[in-house]
Structure formats: structure tokens, C-alpha cells
Structure 1
Amino acid sequence: MFGGRFLGRRVLVTGHTGFKGTWLAEWLLCMGADVIGFSAKEPVSEPALFDVQFPSSFPRLGVADVRGDICDREQIVQLLKKWQPDLVFHLAAQSLVRSSYRQPFETFATNVMGTASLLDALRNTGRSCAVVVVSSDKCYENHNTAHPCREGDPLGGHDPYSSSKACAELVVDAYRHSFFAERAGSASPREPRLLLASARSGNVIGGGDWALDRIIPDCVRSLAHGEPVTVRNPHATRPWQHVLEPLGGYLTLGARLLERLDARNIDACPPGHSRIPTASPLESGFNFGPDSASNHTVRELVEEFLKSWPEANATVEADNVGLWKEFSGNNEPLEATHLRLAIDKARHLLDWRPVWNFSTAVRHTGEWYHRYIAVMTATKGTAELDKFTRMQIRDYCKDAARQRLLWANPDGIR
């Protein structure tokens, strides 16, 4: 799996208690990585996927579960000194567009200065490390057209969240070129080296997301209470993808960066891995989105999700379950109507591509939530859900192997 690059490696995941962060931590642990998690003290949602996957204590499988403020540079410096990670996935962020209107200052502080805090702390570690900063498709200047956003397109954003993500990308670019770039003849192969890339993904769905103002959690809450689903912006188009899709992209990018670090030092290079040239386009931004066929409207997503819910299909209209209605009130703040991502760069440079189509992604999402409600109703505890999450990771890897993706080998999942 990913060439065995994560086995025994120390990996820092900021935002590890979030929706994507929890799935990423679980996948890394399944591959034998030593995971250090760093997140804010406050829960990201109620309930929270992290509490389902790690109900007792995170270090049962990982190394450390550290809580603090990503903007506290000195705390990050001490964290890096203590754990000395080989790879960092930076996911800590305020990740909701609508919340950014309610808390614009906090959104900019976390997303922009939090990124600067981490990168500045890394700048002074004196140790080689690979870094993947997770951004968003919202970082691009959006003109509400069908044009898919490419990595070289202008950055921008008219709402606080989108603007903060564009700013974070500029911070990444500034630190990469000012402090992390390896200039010809300026460094020996054994000098500490920081390899920095960013990852921009589309709208993710998957089991365990309970955030407010997200359509799938809204669907689940309505279905659980026997109410029709209220839908905002039913005609808005988004690049929907299962959470494992972008995570597979982040891991592919991280593995390739680790490969470069290993190749710089022949003593650290694992058997069977050869040295590679110094110059690399890997230290840049990458889009990880679905195929164009998976760009669907919010209405299409809701209707597909309702198909995956057994009770919705077995209930008559009068019961309300399985129905949806358009929100008729004031829908401010406005969000972009069209959003698409071009993924040619990841296909060509990383040999990465999506595995699950739209229907498969929605089906797996519905199955997870249905299992969650069944388990919680029966008060069986969360161990069964933990196993079910790992099973979905394993199924995803098996499907990737069937499609002959280079990184995929389900035997590498514990």
C-alpha cells in the first residue's frame, strides 16, 4: 500500500478529530504509521466521528492525542521538537462557508495564521520533513461557470471561508519559495530539507460527518426524525466525492514526497527504492476531485442518498420520510452555483484517479449512517462502527486494486 512508505513513519495530522482527519488517521493507522494527532480542544460536532472511532483514548493505536491552538506557534514548535514527524498532513481549519460569515475573524485566524504558524515552526526544526497542506476547491476565484478550476487559475474568494483558503495557499507559496526551496548547488543531500505541497479537494461525503449546514448530515438528521429533508440551493452543482477519494490523493502525494526525502539520503532509502532527480513538480498545488460525471446538483445528491436509505424506500409519501422540500426562506449567505475541479495534473504526475463513481460513493455513505443509527439504537457501543469504517477503507482499496491503481494493495491494510 503506497509502496509501504507509511509503515513505521511518524505522521503528524493536524485536525485529526475532524471528519476528514479521523478517516485519515484511521487509514494511516491501518497501514502501520505512528500517528500524532493535534487538534483544538473543542469538539468539531456533536456527535463526532473521532469519538466513534476512538471512544477511549486515541493512543491505543497512535502515538499521541495532543490538544491546543494551531495559531500558538510556540506550542507547535514544542510539538515538532518532541515528536519529530517524517510527514505532516495539515487539516486543522474552520471548514464551513456559512460559519465563516458568523465568525470571519476566527476563520481567517485559523485558516491563514494557523497555516503560517505551522510552516514557521517547521522552518526552524532542523529536520527533513514532507508537508501536505490541505486546502479547498473554494480557494479559486469562482465566476459561476462550467469551467473546471485548474491549479494555475487565479486564487480568490468573495466569502470569508473561500478568501481564507486562497490566503492560506499564498502563505504556502511564500514559505515554499522563501524558505523551503532547494536551490541548485546550495545544499548537500544530507542537509535538512522540507518538501511542501498543497491539496485542494471538492465537496466530500462519507460516514461520520455531522457538521451543521452540510447536506448529508441534514439528510440523516431529518430521516432519523421522520421528517422531510430541507434543501438549500437544490440546483447548485458540486464535485461530490467520497471522503476516501481525496484522502487517497493526499496519501499518494505524501508518499511521493517521502520517496523524494528518502532518495536524498541513500542510507535512509528503503531497499528497492532508487534515487530520483532533485527537481520536482511535486512541491506545488494539486486538485483531487471526482470525474466530471460525478458533478451533480444538490437535488440529485439528495435523491440518490434517499435511494440508499431502506426506510425511505419502504415508506409512503404521507410519512414524510424519504421526501425533500426546498428551503423557502432567506437563503443568505449566498454560495457559488457552479463549482468544478480539473484533475489532469494529479492523473499525470501522481498516477492518481478517482475510484468510486457518484452512485457508489453515495451508497457507501448511506450504508455507514444506517449502520450508525442501528448500532446506537441497539446500544451496542462503537466497536462495531470502528470495524465497519475500517471495512469501508479496505473495500475502497480492493476496488482501487481492481482498477490497477499503482498505490493500491489491500494486503497492506491491517
Structure 2
Amino acid sequence: MSFQNIYQGKKVLITGHTGFKGSWMAIWLKELGADVYGYALPPYSEMDNFVTSKLADHVHHLEGDVRDGAKLKQYFQDVQPDFAFHLAAQPLVILSYKDPVGTFDTNLMGTVNFWEAVRATPSVKAAVNVTTDKCYDNKEWVWGYRENDPMGGKDPYSASKGCSELITNAYLESFFKAEGTCNIASARAGNVIGGGDWAADRIIPDYFRAVKEGKKLEIRNPFATRPWQHVLEPLSGYLNLGAELWLKGKDFSGGWNFGPEDNTNYSVKELIDEMLTLDGRGGYIIPEQTQKMHEAILLKLDISKAANFLKWKPALGFKETVDFTLTGYLDDLSEDGNMFNLRSKQIELYTKVALNKAINWAL
């Protein structure tokens, strides 16, 4: 009965289903009995979760670029989905410095094209744009950002995600306020980790690449503090939010934060130290650097809104988060067994943890 059984038998369209979070969401929705449709670019590599879990055998899959608004809108028209989740994006800070034009084009116009497709497809009753905690104008203060804090960003990626939030709010105020229109929201989460993510310039994929190559990991910003989450944590929030939009409508519109508890933010170094405690392989070095591209040092989210109104909270503590992540990567590295089933088993285990903690969506 997870998520009040709302997704059973529903058509759910995900943009970015070949990506890390999108592929995990597609697997979870399949386990919930949804008919899943995906629209995305090809996966980056043969190690990606979409490929190793053979997700194309389980969902309807169309390759497409969210910058192609006409193609995306036509796919919505063909599918006539009940739900839509927008996860397609250029998701990397470092890459945004190398390709700012592509980053802004994808993350801004991709958002516009998503909402235009939703607006043109009356079958969609609930839709969520997934952004990031980096959408906030980060002052690196010690308290968490709330949903009504200003958007911003010093790097192209963060700025593009702040813009994506502004675009979503403009569409909400301009086109989705009236009763009978789609119920829409945005979801913001922190640094998400878990098996199946092999993107460049991310700390956990870099750690396991170093392990595979018998090298020590180089840590750029060892004392940068992040709201680390296992991938299933924010996904439970997105699915929880989608279900409430379906059931209760516009009371759940707007922005929502999904992050760890306030006192559970850890540094990059602490994350890798915990991984080494559990895994015992590898190591790291902290190189001297004369010049760095800007990356925030301290970033926290205030999840009070989700806790109070959605009755959502994280199910995993820090050590459990690292343990779930390690298990996912060991499954990747073993190259043995049915990866789709292994991911499904981890979703089942996570759901049991949430149920034991009486978290609302799992009851």
C-alpha cells in the first residue's frame, strides 16, 4: 500500500529516466504497478543504472532531448499520462563551467518545454519538476534553506536550477492556479548517492572508480559539507508529493525540500572515511590546488514543510545511507545476477525500514 496505492495502474511519464535518479524512480514505479514511459537522452555509459538493470525491457522508452519541445509535447500527446516527473537535466557543476550554454539551454528551456507539454495534455493531473538544493542563493549560513528563500547560484549549474524554479513558479501562477488544471510542484534535494551512478566529477563514483583502478581518490574539497542522501530518500519524497497532488490538489503546489535531518550533514572527508570503514579498500589524498572553480562549502536544507504537511522524513541515518550506497556499488561491481531485481530488493528493504519507522508514505 505504499503511497496509498495511487500509482497502481497509472501512466507515469518521466523525463530523464536514463539518468541516475530517473532510472531508480522508473524501477520503483514499476514495483508500484505503474505503466512507466520515459523520454531521455541515451545513457552516458554501459555502467549506468539504466543499462545494467536493462530498464528498456521494463518501461516504454523513447530517446529524445528535452530541448526539442515539439518532440516532447508529441510524446505527451501520444502517451496521455496521468503523472509527469521532470528529471532530465545537465546535473553537474563542473560540466556547467565547461559548457554553460548547453547547461542553461537544457535546464531552462527543458523546463519550459516540460511545462508546455503538461499544459497541452489535460490527462496529466499531477506533475513535479525536480531541481536541487543548489537552486538557492547560498550564503553558506549555518541554518537550512527554506522553500521561500531566494533563488540564485554562483556557478552556471546552480544558477540554471534557480532559473528552473522561477520558471516553474511562473507557470504555476500563470497557468496552473485555476481549478481543473494540473496540480504542479517542484522538489529540491541534496547530494544524492547510491548504486548505479557513474557520472564524472562526483565523489562516490570517483571513489569506486579509484577502487577499481587500484588508485587513491583525490578529494577536491574535503571539508565541504553536504546533505548526503541515498537516492531512495528524495525519490520517496517526490512520489509522496505526487500522490498528495493527485489526492488533495493545489494545497500541495509550490516548492518542497527533501533532505536529511538538520543535524546529519557531513563533510566529503567524513563520507569517504565512513565508506572506508565499511569497505576497507582504497584510500584518498588531498592534493594542493592553486585555483579552484567555485563550489559551495556549506549547504543545508530545512525540511520542516515536508515533515509537517507531507508527514515525510528520511528513513536512513548517515551510516545506513553509506551502507545502502556501498551495497548498490558492490552489486554493480559484481556484474553478477539480475540488476533490476537487485535494485527492486533494495527498494523493498528501504520501504521496510520506512514502515518500521512509521513514515507516512510507507503505511
Same fold (TM over 0.5): yes
Report if the CA contact (8 A) 1:241-1:294 is conserved.
no
1:42-57 pair list within 5 angstroms: 43-54=43-54
Task: Classify the secondary structure of the residue corresponding to 2:209.
Answer: helix
2:182 aligns with: 194
Tell me, which stretches of 5 or more residues in structure 1 are unaligned?
262-279, 313-320, 410-414
2:353 aligns with: 399
Report if the CA contact (8 A) 1:308-1:367 is conserved.
no
Q: In the alignment, residue 103 of structure 1 is paired with which amino acid?
A: D
Runs of 4+ in 1 over 6 A off after TM superposition: none
Q: In the alignment, residue 256 of structure 1 is paired with which amino acid?
A: E
Q: Which of 332, 336, 339 lines up with 2:292 in the alignment?
A: 332
1:42-121 pair list within 5 angstroms: 43-54=43-54, 58=56, 60-62=57-59, 64-121=60-117
Report if the CA contact (8 A) 2:17-2:88 is conserved.
yes
Per-residue deviation at 1:121?
2.1
Distance 1:174 1:330, change over 3 A: same
Task: Classify the secondary structure of the residue corresponding to 1:353.
Answer: coil
| Percent of pairs with identical residues | 43
Report if the CA contact (8 A) 1:127-1:193 is conserved.
no
2:288, 2:251 → 1: CA distance? 47
Report if the CA contact (8 A) 2:232-2:347 is conserved.
yes
Per-residue deviation at 1:76?
1.5
2:233 aligns with: 245
Task: Classify the secondary structure of the residue corresponding to 1:157.
Answer: coil
2:138 aligns with: 142
1:394, 1:219 → 2: CA distance? 26
Q: Which of 274, 293, 297 lines up with 2:267 in the alignment?
A: 297
Task: Classify the secondary structure of the residue corresponding to 2:362.
Answer: coil
Per-residue deviation at 1:44?
2.8
Q: Kindly provide the CA deviation profile for residues 125-175 of structure 1, in whole angstroms up to 9, marking residues without a partner as x.
A: 233421100010000001122121110111101110000001000100111
1:306, 1:152 → 2: CA distance? 38
* Structure with the greater alpha carbon radius of gyration: 1
Q: In the alignment, residue 339 of structure 1 is paired with which amino acid?
A: L
2:33 aligns with: 32
2:67, 2:212 → 1: CA distance? 38
1:283 aligns with: 253
Per-residue deviation at 1:85?
0.6
1:273 aligns with: none
1:204, 1:28 → 2: CA distance? 19
Report if the CA contact (8 A) 2:27-2:340 is conserved.
no
1:89, 1:331 → 2: CA distance? 38
Task: Classify the secondary structure of the residue corresponding to 1:292.
Answer: coil
Q: Cα RMSD between the aligned structures?
A: 1.4
1:294, 1:328 → 2: CA distance? 28
1:225, 1:308 → 2: CA distance? 19
1:260, 1:84 → 2: CA distance? 21
1:126-137 pair list within 5 angstroms: 126-137=122-133
Matched, 1:342 2:302: yes
Tell me, which stretches of 5 or more residues in structure 2 are unaligned?
none
